[in-house]
Amino acid sequence: MEENPSGWQEKVRLKREARSQAIAIVATEGLQGLDLSVVDIDDISTLVGLIASGELSSEAVTKAYIHKVIVAHSQTNCLTEILFQDALTQARGLDEYRAKHGNVIGPLHGVPVTVKDQFNIRGYDTTLGYVGRTFSPATEDAVLVDMLKKLGAVVLGKTNLPQSIMWCETENPLWGLTTSPFCEDYTPAGSTGGEAALLSLHGSLLGWGTDLGGSIRMPAHATGLYGLKPSSSRLPYHGAPVSTEGQEHVPSSVGPLARNLPSLALVMKELIQMEPWQRDARCAPIPWRDEIFQSFRSTPLTIGLLTDDGVVRPHPPVSRVLLSLVEKLQAAGHDIVEWNADLHPECIQVLDDFYTADGGEDIRRDVLAGGEPYIPHVEALVNRGQPISVYEYWQINRRKVALQQAYLRKWNDIKSPKTGKRVDVVLMPPMPHTAVPHRCSRWVGYTKVWNVLDYSALVISAGKVASIDGNAPWNYAPRNALDEWNAALWTQNKGKMIELGLPVGVQVVGRKLEEEKVLAIGTIMDELLREPSDA
């Protein structure tokens, strides 16, 4: 590692130069004549099975993915730290293990994995998009990274995120702007945007992010992926620095992203079976409950439906894809119950108040340490308000707890008119729009309410913007300035969005620590979505 240079621009130059050199070294060595078809295998179990049978080697898979990573990065600027040489060493070690023992080392043997630049990896920086955190490599792996390696995963690199991580797009002065895999003028969302762009372009098979307000779910929706935000105590966070670290009012969650849903269920099961609570004091000692997963795979469901949060009306393709899935669910015998957005504005306000409780001091300190400029949204965030007293902070916590209790009552009280049953999950949009042009995101109310409640939430890939959406009625009077902004986004960009066929996801929400249920019900929905059309 270079000596710590002075001046933020020089640090940026050196970090980007080191990234380019790390890519170039591998790009010119041994990436010729590869079977690149392996990167189109979307299912983890399928890939591991091929490695276990000897049909593929871990080294060949890793080289093919490195080739694809380089292509994806050249298209989207998604990478930060490059681990290619380490990955090849890992892969060769896995091949040696299989040759010696005749079996794989674990259920992720040879699976190419990438992580958001928030997870510590020994010997590499963890920047959070801050220049001031460069040239300070981690001394040990994050607990999650160590567990993944023990399962056999091969870590290829770290991916971009917004300055401070506190935004739903992916840009910072250190690494620059990450673009959508569908169009360079559009965002992959954020804050786990680099991870989503790379996964979407088949540069990784399994990605890891964090979610404090939608940072896994929104990028999954914007790039056609599957993303899970577990409750905050289900997976280990230790070794993943975060802005506003030390706050526990609305804890951030660690979660996976993948190109198919069985892969998400697999990695959740395998990690939880490793008992992460023995490695991270924050984790709840709850084993994987396969009986819950199986029971919800084979029973008629009661599903709450929220089509609109009453603040920002979803664009036509978001509504169409959601309602199309509802029709399939009803045809399959599942009960749909109307849900409402009562208590959502109050939850969102609580989270906004928490975001600025320190008057922006935490983020301001990190930016001042590096000397770089703010990106516009982060500058607005740190200047939004003055720090509050400890007493005032306690009052926000009281409001949060009261809202959590009120939402529990709401969930218990809303019942099916047909059966009298409570809903199993809530089905709703992840965002009011698809991917949008850079710096056009404003409303994340569809996701962050569930962070305040610490509920389990899953996004599944459900459809695409289509030409039929261009003819949908869109002449509503705006409810507010945000709704007016969102309406204009569709009016001004719908032609391009239709041309690009941008992905559309749906969000499936369960209550606290209901990951098995959410994944099981998401699997039912995903299977319905993948059924061949009668047409």
Catalytic positions, please? 116, 191, 215
Nearest to 192 by CA among 225, 164, 168, 157: 168
- What gap in Å lies between CA 435 and CA 121, rounded to an integer? 30
Q: Which amino acid is at 27?
A: A
Q: β-strand 253-258 against 335-338: which pairing, if any?
A: unpaired
- What gap in Å lies between CA 411 and CA 509, rounded to an integer? 12
Tokens matching residue 208: 């890891």
E strand or H helix that includes residue 416: none
Nearest to 463 by CA among 507, 502, 490: 502
Tokens matching residue 320: 């169409």
Sheet holding 335-338, edge to edge: 79-82, 154-159, 112-116, 206-211, 253-258, 226-229, 457-464, 503-509, 425-428, 302-305, 335-338
Task: Indicate the length of the chain as a whole number.
Answer: 535
Phi-psi region of 308 (alpha: psi -120 to 50; beta: other; left: phi over 0): beta
All residues at 6 or more sequence positions from 499 whose CB lies less than 8 Å from its CB, including other chains: none
All residues at 6 or more sequence positions from 428 whose CB lies less than 8 Å from its CB, including other chains: 305, 306, 307, 309, 322, 339, 446, 506, 507, 509
Nearest to 256 by CA among 171, 196, 296: 196
Nearest to 132 by CA among 241, 261, 20: 241
**DSSP for 417-469, written as a single string:** TTT-PBPSEEEE-SSSSSS-BTT-----HHHHHHHHHT--EEEEEEEE--GGG
